[in-house]
Chains A and B, each alone.
Chain A
Amino acid sequence: MARAKTGFPFASIEQINNSQLRANLKSATSAIREKRAKVVGEKQDWEELRRKGERIKNEVLASLDEYLLELEESVTKVGGVVHWAADSSEANRIILSLIQEHGESEVIKVKSLTTDELHLNEYLANHGISAVETDLAELIVQLAHDKPSHILVPAIHKSRSEIKELFENTISKGKVLGDGPAELAEASRLYLREKFLSAKVAVSGVNFAVAETGTVCIVESEGNGRMCLTLPKVLISVMGIEKVLPKLDDLAVFLELLPRSSTGERMNPYTSTWTGVHTGDGPEEFHLVILDNRRSHVLADPVGRQALRCIRCSACLNVCPVYERSGGHAYGSVYPGPIGAILSPQLFATEASLSLPWASTLCGACYEVCPVRIDIPRVLVHLREKVISEGYKSKSEEVSFGVIALILRSGRRFELIQRVATQIRRPLNRVLLTVSLPGALGKWRAARQVPEIPDETFRMWWRANRSDNGS
C-alpha cells in the first residue's frame, strides 16, 4: 500500500528528527511533569477533586441546553449581549461586524484556542483588521507566521536565539537584543504596552462561564489577559458551548484543578472574573459569542462526548510519550496531543485528523493525569472502530485481520498453524532474520530483530508432556 502523505505517521517523521524540537520538548515536558507531581502530591484530596470535576462537567453536558439558556439569561441581565454561532464562519462574521461597528482596524487578543479553531486572525486580516496576539508565545508564533505546537506553551519549538532574531526583525527593529529570556520578555512588554493603552476592542476566549450568575472567567499567567479584559471599551469573548458551569462554587473546583494540572503551580498568577458590564470599571460593552461548531456532534456520541469535559490544561500533552517525541505540529490541528487525538477527529473529521486515533499506544498515562478523568484510551479505541466502520480503512489490513480472526476462533485451527510453522521454522526463521521483507514485517525489522519461531509451541509441549496427568 502506498505510504500516505497526510496524517500522523507521515507528519511525525520530520518532527521526530528535529533535534531542537526534541530537546525542547523533552526538557519542557519533564520539567512540567515534575512541577505537577509536586503540587498534586501536596493535595490530599486530589482524587476527590478530580471526581468532582468529572461529575460537574457530566452534569453540565447532560443538561447542556438548559444551562446555556440559563447562562444567556444571566449574562443578559447583567448587561452583556449574547450571540449564538452555529459554526466557525458564523462566529467570524459576528466578531467581524462587532469590530466594524466600532470602526476599528486593530484589536488586541488574549490567547484563545477557540479563536485559533476559527482561524479568526486570518479571517480578520482578510477583512483589513489586524488582531494582535498579546500572550508572549502567541505573539512569537504570530510574528513568525508559524503555528502553535503546544496548547499551553505554543512557542516551545523555538529557541532563544530564534526568538531574539525574530524580535530584532519585527517589534524591536533597530535594536540589538540579548538572548536572555528576561530581555526578550521585556522587549515584548514594551511593544505590547503601547497596544494595551490604545486598543478599543479586545477579543478573548473563555475558560469558564457560570450559568447561575453570568460570570465569565479567564485564567492566565502574564497579565496580558487582565490588560485586554480591563482597558478596552469593547470586549468580545468566544466560548465553546461546553465551557458553561452551573454555579460559582463549581468554578472554585476548577480553579483548583486547572493550575496544578497545567503549569504545575498551586495557582496561576492572574485569574479574572467579570459579571456583565461594570460602570466605571472595564469595558462598556461585553459580547459573549456562544459557539457550537460541531460540539453538538461530539455530544451525540455517548462514548466520545467525554472529550467535551476538557478544560484545556494540557496535562495529557506533558505526559504523553508520543507527543514528547513529535510535538504539536504533527497532529495537524489546533488541538494536539492525546486530547487532540480524540477531539480533532470528532470536531473536524479531516482526512489527516482521522489518522489521529491510531497515534497512540494506549499507554493510559493521559487518563491518570486528566483533571476531569477523561478515559482517553477508551475513546481512542472507540474512534478507531468508528472511523473504520465509516469506511476509512485499509482493505488489505481488514482482510488479513479477518483471516487471523478466523484462525483464532478455533483451538484446532490455531494448533494446525502452529504445527506447520514449527515444521518449517528453520527456513522460515532464516527468511525472517535476513531477507528484505515488505509491509508490516519490514517495518518491524527496520529497527528490531524478529523473534524466532520455537521448535515446539506451548500446547505442543503440553500435549507431549502433561495432558494426561494435568499437573
Chain B
Amino acid sequence: MEASSNRPSRGAILELVKAALREKSASHNSATAGVATPGAPGTPFPIMKQLEQSATDLFKEVLLDYKATVRRCEEHQIPSVIAELFAHQEISSAVIPSGLDSSWIEQIKGIELIVDDGFRSAGELASIDAVITGCACAIAETGTLVLSCQPDEGRRAITLLPDFHFCVVRSQAIIRGVKDLFKHVSATNPITLISGPSATSDIELKRVEGVHGPRNLFVIIVG
C-alpha cells in the first residue's frame, strides 16, 4: 500500500496539531510541587551504596540479582571458561555468529557447533540449544547487555530462540549508566538490550523466569 494514499489525513492531522499549539501551555509550579518529601511515610529513602563500586563489580552484582550466571576471567581463559560452563549444562548444539572469535569455542567437547549463515529458519534455530556472542557494550547500573548485530553478535534471531545464551563482555566496554548508551552504540542496526533472563510476573505477581527467549543467561566478563 502506498503511504501517500492517506495524504489527506496526514495534512489534516498536522493542521490540527498546529492549531492546537496556538495556545501556550498554562504556567508553572513551584520547585517542590510533585516531589515526595524525603523521610515521610511511603517515600523512598535515598540509598547511597553504589558510588563506591567499580563499574565491573556493580555489573556483576546486578547480573547475579537477575539470576544470571557470571564468570570473570582473562582473555586467554575465555575458551576454557566457556567449555567448563558448557560441560555442566544439558547442551547438545550451539550456534555462533560468523564473526565470533573461533578460538573461544575450540575447547567445547561433544556438541554440534553451527556457524550462522543468516539463512537458517526460525524453526531450525529454535531447535538449537545454545548461542555464544560478544556484545557491543554493557551497562553496569542496570546489568544490561547491549547487542547491536555486529559480526560477533549476529542477527537478532540467534539470541532469541535458543534456551542458553553465553555472552562475552569486555570490562572496558562496561559503561556505568544508561545515560551515555547511545554514545557507545550505533542505532543504525537493531539493538537488543538484555537485562537478565526473560521473565513475567502476571499471574498473582509472582516472578516467573523464562517465558520466551533464553531462560539461562551466562555472562563472561573479561579483563
Contact = CB atoms under 8 A, between A and B. Distances in A.
Co-assembled chains A and B? yes
A28 B205 contact: yes
Interface string A185-229: 100110011001100000000000010010100000111101100
A64 B62 contact: no
Nearest to B11: A84
Interface string A159-198: 1100100000000000000000110110011001100110
Contacts of B209: 182
A303 B26 contact: yes
A268 B118 CA distance: 28
A339 to B, nearest CB: 14
A264 to B, nearest CB: 10
A227 B160 contact: yes
Contacts, number: 266
B200 A282 contact: no
Interface stretch (B74-82, B83-91, B140-148): B140-148
Interface in A27-65: 27-28, 31-33, 36-38, 40-42, 44, 47, 58, 61-65
A55 B125 CA distance: 44
A136 B200 CA distance: 8
A231 B9 contact: no
Contact of B17 (A64, A83, A94, A137): A64
Contact of A275 (B35, B47, B122, B187): B187
A163 B203 contact: yes
A267 B201 contact: no
A123 interface: no
A282 B157 CA distance: 8
A84 B142 contact: no
B155 A281 contact: yes
Nearest to A141: B202
Interface size class of B (residues with CB under 8 A): 35 or more
A90 B12 CA distance: 13
A273 interface: yes
A198 B145 CA distance: 28
A300 interface: yes
10 contacts: A24-B204, A94-B1, A140-B202, A182-B209, A189-B211, A269-B196, A275-B188, A296-B16, A296-B20, A302-B26
Given A37-B44, A299-B20, 19 more contacts: A41-B46, A86-B12, A90-B6, A97-B1, A160-B203, A181-B208, A189-B212, A215-B187, A221-B199, A222-B213, A256-B179, A266-B142, A267-B193, A269-B213, A278-B189, A282-B155, A296-B16, A296-B19, A364-B34
Interface of A: 24, 27-28, 31-33, 36-38, 40-42, 44, 47, 58, 61-65, 68-69, 76, 81-86, 90, 94, 97-98, 101, 134, 136-137, 140, 153-156, 158-160, 163, 181-182, 184-185, 188-189, 192-193, 196-197, 210, 213, 215, 221-224, 226-227, 230-231, 241, 248-249, 251-253, 255-256, 259, 263, 265-275, 278, 280-282, 290, 292, 296-297, 299-300, 302-303, 305-306, 364-365, 367-370, 373, 375
